[in-house]
Structure 1
Amino acid sequence: MENVNIDERESFKRFQPLIAIIIVILLLMFGNYLGNQKAVLPIQLFSGVLLGATLTRARFGFAGGIKRIYVRGEGSLTKALLIMLFVTMFLFMGIQWYAAQNGAVPAFLAAEGEAIIPGTQNVYMANLATILGGILFGMGMIFAGGCASGTLTDMGEGEGRAMFVFLFFILGSAPGELARYKFDQSSLGKVGVQSYLPDTFGYIGALAVSGLILLFIYWLVLKYEKKRKEENTYMDPLGDWEDFEKPLAIETSEETSLFSYKTYHKLFIERWSFKTGAVVIAVICTFILLTTNKAWGVTSAFSKLEIALLQPLGVEFASPAFDKLNMSVSEGLLTDGGTIRNLGIVVGAALSFLMAGRFKFAMKLNKRDIPYFVVGGLLMGFGARLAKGCNAGAMYSAISTFSVSGWVFTIAMVVGGLISLKLFAGKMSLIPASRKK
């Protein structure tokens, strides 16, 4: 990509980095407060801020891995997601293998008091609910313009659309919890597979099998890109970069010094490649596993938030499906690690935009799109909890912890995304009618 010769300093909002610095100071104070509640909470906040800043800086999203290649014909984000999965698997494998050698067992096989292999809490039963939940979630994230983590980062970037979607995402979550509980209690809910690949192939074998699957998908992406090039519906992978986030081309010695605007632009404004974002996210998620003994998840915290919001209004959550969630809510959301990490993601995204001097509220909503945002949020909330997770917990973390359920959810989510892209093309602003827009 060519460097651009633009002097954007005139439009750069110099006060915004100062706001970012103030927020960081407040975060440090808040982290100190959280540490007095639970020692792990500041770590959750820190990892969330890192995730939010990285997702925003790289313009990285899981939903885009489906939408981008379908609409633009190029798989730069899809390939980065595959790389992220393999790097994370490799790092997780070492952690899990070490734990297993020291007597830990997968969470779903552990008796009370037994040590659990970190991350195996995401080895779910893959059944019909996983498939249906994945399809609904995949459809919803296309309508909404982002997945669960994408909705949080979009909120941090000031997107009114995401704030609207988030409300309905929350409202769909508790019904999804109830539906999954009731389904799992039925005889049909017992039909499925709950498999931890190292139990079958060993740790090296599980990595090899998973890596071969990723390599095969990577090859399919390359073949599809070639097909789209031949059809003349392939677009430049860097063609959607905005001018201000491209590298600057200022060559004078004054402007290339350490304390120049060009240096600041490189550090805080220039967009990261998808591959850079992928590797950084893999490292952050490994940090999460090491410090919490659990893999990254997003949407269980949404169910807790819904309970906390609706219980005071008289809505009852008396089903056993909500027992653990009610207990967590009774202790206070500020003691819940998932909620704190989600808050960190929102703040991290905002900090990224503020440091780039580009933050602004975009509150305008297209009336034609509003029904899709409502349905998209509800489908994502219900689908994620029906499947026991979203693209983070049920896909990324499940696959990275060698759970078969992760692959089942992924296939279902892709199918759901393609259904929305094909059936609703041109019916809302976020789904173009032409695959070359």
Structure 2
Amino acid sequence: MTAATLAPAGGARIGTRGLLVAAGLAAVAAVTLFVGARFGMLLAVGLGFGIVLEGLRFGFAGPWRAMILRREPAGMLAQILAIALVAIVSIPLISSHPGEIGGAQAPIGWAMLGGAFVFGAAMQVVLGCGSGTLVNAGSGNPVSLLALPFFAIGSFAGAYHLIWWTDLGALPILTLTGGAGLAVTLAGLAGLAGIVLWRAAPGTRAVPRRLLLAAVLLAALAVANLAIAGQPWGVVYGLGIWAAKGFVALGGDLSGSAFFTAPGSVARVNGSILTDYSSLTDIGLIAGAFGVAAWRRGALAAPLPRYPARAWIATVVAGLALGYSSRLAFGCNVGAFFSGIATGSLHGWAWFVMAFAGAYLGIWLRPRLGLEART
């Protein structure tokens, strides 16, 4: 094949990549112009999340699986590094701006602990947490494309019933604040890193530069999200709002839910998704992952895997479980584990313990549900 033959394909790819960049910039500019600068910046932050997660292959479900099955610690160590970097900025920032900037704070209760366990199992079934499902759907993964709408429906249902579940019993919200809180948080993360390294297989302790870079960039984006929105990075709430809007559009009545009749929820359901912080970053995350996937291969979807029917049914059920359980647990790997610990909430630590335990169940279930691709 000659250089002349290759030129059109190369030129087409350059053109496609140029269109991707132009589309991203145009979307940010449009939101800024018609909605406001803060919302345009949050869309840009969401695009950044998607680009970093997909472009540098940073995730949560996969590294947990690698640690459990093969005792490979690199991905988990990168997660811990990113959380520590965010905590160094966010805990003092929240302490110095009370009422203006808030953390990902939630009570530890029976529903929260059970929800985290179920979420940990479900995310290993579909190999995607909250952010992972969005990223994988954006990059064209068929399992995540199927799971995502059911994730949103489950998130809506979990929010609808949330007050009933929390009434089963919970502790007061417990947070680590100020310099002492930051010191305890960093000590806890160092201890977790030590345990991960202790359990690591010989010769696997090095963290690739790609993951170190991703951890730093992800931390910078999370801090930007906190500063712009006044709240930490979250995923699940936005998905539930999307499903709630669809429910209302179809004639549904939300008056029976204490969660959705609260003033803040009413405003978000009735308002535009372009003024909802979580929705904007979720949209940006999906679009950023799509852009990276299209940049790489010029294709819009991955090949459909040869799974049996029970695998696709399991994907739907797992998607519903992801959404429902994450609302009960007050977040996913992002909203509870990452942002919870990084902003000093003790529920983030409890979430991690229960979700990691649930991951063992999910890893055991995945091949039995037919979700390991045939060779």
Query: What TM-score results when the alignment is normalised by the length of structure 1?
Result: 0.77
1:124–1:50 CA distance, 2 compared to 1 (3 A)? same
Mapping 1:12-411, distance limit 5 Å: 15-35=12-32, 36-99=34-97, 104=98, 115-116=99-100, 118-120=101-103, 122-184=104-166, 186=167, 188-189=168-169, 191-198=170-177, 203-226=178-201, 229=202, 273-318=210-255, 319-323=257-261, 324-357=264-297, 359-362=299-302, 364-365=304-305, 366-367=307-308, 368-411=310-353
Whether the aligned pair in 1 keeps the contact of 2:73 and 2:204 (CA below 8 Å) is no
Query: What TM-score results when the alignment is normalised by the length of structure 2?
Result: 0.89
Residue 356 of structure 1 aligns to a residue whose secondary structure is: helix
The sequence identity of aligned pairs, in percent, is 23
Whether the aligned pair in 2 keeps the contact of 1:160 and 1:362 (CA below 8 Å) is yes
Q: Separation in 2 of the partners of 1:359 and 1:57?
A: 15
Q: Separation in 1 of the partners of 2:352 and 2:11?
A: 42
Residue 369 of structure 1 aligns to a residue whose secondary structure is: helix
Q: Separation in 2 of the partners of 1:39 and 1:371?
A: 42
1:272–1:350 CA distance, 2 compared to 1 (3 A)? farther
Alpha-carbon distance, 1:431 to partner: 9.2
Q: Separation in 1 of the partners of 2:157 and 2:294?
A: 36
What is the CA deviation profile of residues 207-265 of structure 1, one whole-angstrom value per residue up to 9, with x for unaligned ones?
Answer: 22112211221121122114xx4xxxx87989xxxxxxxxxxxxxxxxxxxxxxxxxxx
Whether the aligned pair in 1 keeps the contact of 2:74 and 2:205 (CA below 8 Å) is no
Aligned length: 364
Q: Separation in 2 of the partners of 1:171 and 1:363?
A: 26
Q: Separation in 2 of the partners of 1:28 and 1:143?
A: 35
What is the CA deviation profile of residues 129-148 of structure 1, one whole-angstrom value per residue up to 9, with x for unaligned ones?
Answer: 11011011111111111111
Residue 111 of structure 2 aligns to a residue whose secondary structure is: helix
1:140 is aligned with what amino acid? A
Alpha-carbon distance, 1:314 to partner: 2.9
Whether the aligned pair in 2 keeps the contact of 1:85 and 1:396 (CA below 8 Å) is yes
1:395 is aligned with what amino acid? F
Q: Separation in 2 of the partners of 1:431 and 1:425?
A: 9
Name whichever structure is richer in helix by fraction. Answer: 2
Residue 172 of structure 1 aligns to a residue whose secondary structure is: helix
Alpha-carbon distance, 1:27 to partner: 3.1
Larger Rg over CA atoms = 1
1:206–1:163 CA distance, 2 compared to 1 (3 A)? same
CA RMSD in angstroms comes to 2.6
Whether the aligned pair in 2 keeps the contact of 1:88 and 1:286 (CA below 8 Å) is yes
What is the CA deviation profile of residues 383-415 of structure 1, one whole-angstrom value per residue up to 9, with x for unaligned ones?
Answer: 111112111111111100001111111111111
2:199 is aligned with what amino acid? Y
1:236–1:81 CA distance, 2 compared to 1 (3 A)? closer
Q: Separation in 1 of the partners of 2:372 and 2:196?
A: 23
